[in-house]
Chains A and B, each alone.
Chain A
Amino acid sequence: MSKSNVVILVLLRALLVGAAGLALLTPAQAQSRIGVTQATQNNPMGQPPGGVDRVLRVGTDVQANEIISTAADDRAHLVFLDGTTLTVGPSSQLTIDKFVYDPTTQKGELAVNATKGVFRVIGGRISKTSAITVTTPAATMGIRGGMAAFSVATGGATITVSLFGVITVTAGGVTQTMTVPGLQVSTSTGGTPGAPTIVTQGSLSAALGALVGNSTATAATVAAIQTLVASNLGNPVTLQALIQAIIVANTATPITTTTTTTTLAVTVVPENPNQTQASPN
C-alpha cells in the first residue's frame, strides 16, 4: 500500500470516528450546550436562538444566546460548564449573551443581559480570571471571583448587592466598586451609580427570599432531601468543632476597612488557606 493510501485511510477512519461521536450527541448537545437546568419551580421558559419556547425542566440544556423568562411564581437555577450558577427569580427576563469556556485553561467569558426581575450570579472558574458581565438598561456590572444579586425594575433601574468578591457597577461614565460583601449600589435608568451603601437586613432577606422555592416539592422529594441532608451534613459534635474553628480563625485578625470616595476595601486573613478574598481587577 502506498504512503498516500495509508494517509487517506487514516483520515477516513478519523472522519468515521468523529461522525460516530457526533451521532451519540442529542440535537441540543450538538448545538452550543453551555450549561444545564439544575432546579426549577413551576414553568420557567427558555428560548434558544432560532428555536421555540420550551419549559425548562431539570436536566434541560441551556444554550448560548438563550432567552430565559419567568412568570410570577416561576424560578430556575442554571449551572454553566465552568461552575457558574445563575438563579432566576420570578417575573424576570434575561439573555445569556455570551458564554465561551476552555476547560483546559479554565478561562472564558460570560455575559448576561437582563431587562427585568431578580437574579443571582455565583461565579465559577471564569470569574476567577475575568469578570462576568451583567448588563441592564441602567448599568453594566462586573463580577470578579464572587457573587452578586440583582434586582431590575420594569423601567430598568437596578440594585446590585455584593455577596462576595469584587463587584463593579458602571453607568454614565462612572464606576462604583464594591469589595466588601453586604453592600449595594442603586442605579436609575439614564443616571450614574450611587455610592455603595450597607444593605439592610430586610432588603437582603427579601432579595434572597425571592430566589428560593415556595416549598411546592412533593412530600417524597422533601423527605428524600431531608434524609440526604441529615446523613451528609455532619453530626452535631463535628459541627460544633467546625464552628469553633471558624470563629477562632475569623476573629484572630481584626477586620480593617478603608474607603475611598468610590471604593470600599477590606483586608482579611483567609480562614482557609485555599480561600482568598478576590483581588480587584
Chain B
Amino acid sequence: MKKLGTFLLLAMVLAGCQSADPVQKASPELQRQYNAAFQEMLKDPGNLDAVMAYAQVATKTGDYEGAVGAYESLLLVDSNLPRVRLELGILYFRLKSYETSRVYLESALASPALPADVRKPAELLLAKMPAQSKSRRT
C-alpha cells in the first residue's frame, strides 16, 4: 500500500511537471508541425514567413510564450506594427499578464495605422481587462 501511495505521488508530480509545457500535451501531428516550424525559423531566422508560421503554430499549440517571442522579434525590425502589437496584447491577455497586455493594446489602438475593422475587438478586450490583482497580507 505504501508503494502504491509513493507511485501515485510520483505520478502526480510527473503529471504536474509535464502540464507546464503545452507542446508536450499537444497531438503528435501538432507537435510535428511545431517542431518543423521552429527548426525552419532557426535555419532561416530572417525569413519573416518562417517567423510568422512559427508564431501561429505556437499559438495553436498553446505555447503562447513561443508566439510572443516570435512577434517581439518583428517589433525589433519595425516597432510601428499595430496589428502585431494587438496580437501581443491578445497573447499576454491569454497568459493573464494583464498589465503587459494593456500596454500593447493601448499602443496598438493609439496607432492610426491599426485597421478600423479590428479596432472594435481590440477596444472590447481592453474594456474587459481585469484590474491588477490587489495583494493582501496573510
A-side interface residues toward B, CB under 8 Å? 36-41, 58-59, 75-77, 79, 81, 83-85, 87, 106, 120, 122-125, 128-129, 145-147, 163-164, 180-182, 196, 198-199, 201, 204-205, 208, 211-215, 217, 221-222, 224-226, 228-230, 232-233, 236, 239-240, 242-244, 246-247, 250-251, 255, 257-261, 264, 266, 268, 271-279
One of B41, B45, B79, B121 near A240 (C-beta < 8 A): B121
Interface size of B by CB at 8 A reads 73
Not counting A76-B76, A272-B94, A277-B96, a sample of 19 additional A-B residue pairs whose C-beta atoms are within 8 angstroms of each other reads: A36-B45, A83-B38, A85-B73, A122-B69, A147-B65, A147-B68, A163-B100, A164-B65, A181-B95, A213-B78, A214-B79, A228-B48, A229-B84, A239-B118, A243-B124, A259-B136, A266-B96, A266-B133, A279-B20
Q: How far is the CB of A56 from chain B (nearest CB, A)?
A: 11
A122 to B79, CA, bound (A): 19
Q: How far is the CB of A62 from chain B (nearest CB, A)?
A: 11
Which residues of B have CB within 8 Å of A125?
A: 21, 23
**Which of chain B's residues has its CB closest to A80's CB?**
B42
**Which of chain B's residues has its CB closest to A257's CB?**
B133
User: At the interface, is chain B mostly helix, strand, loop or mixed?
Assistant: helix
One of B24, B77, B95, B133 near A39 (C-beta < 8 A): B77
Which residues of B have CB within 8 Å of A75?
A: 76
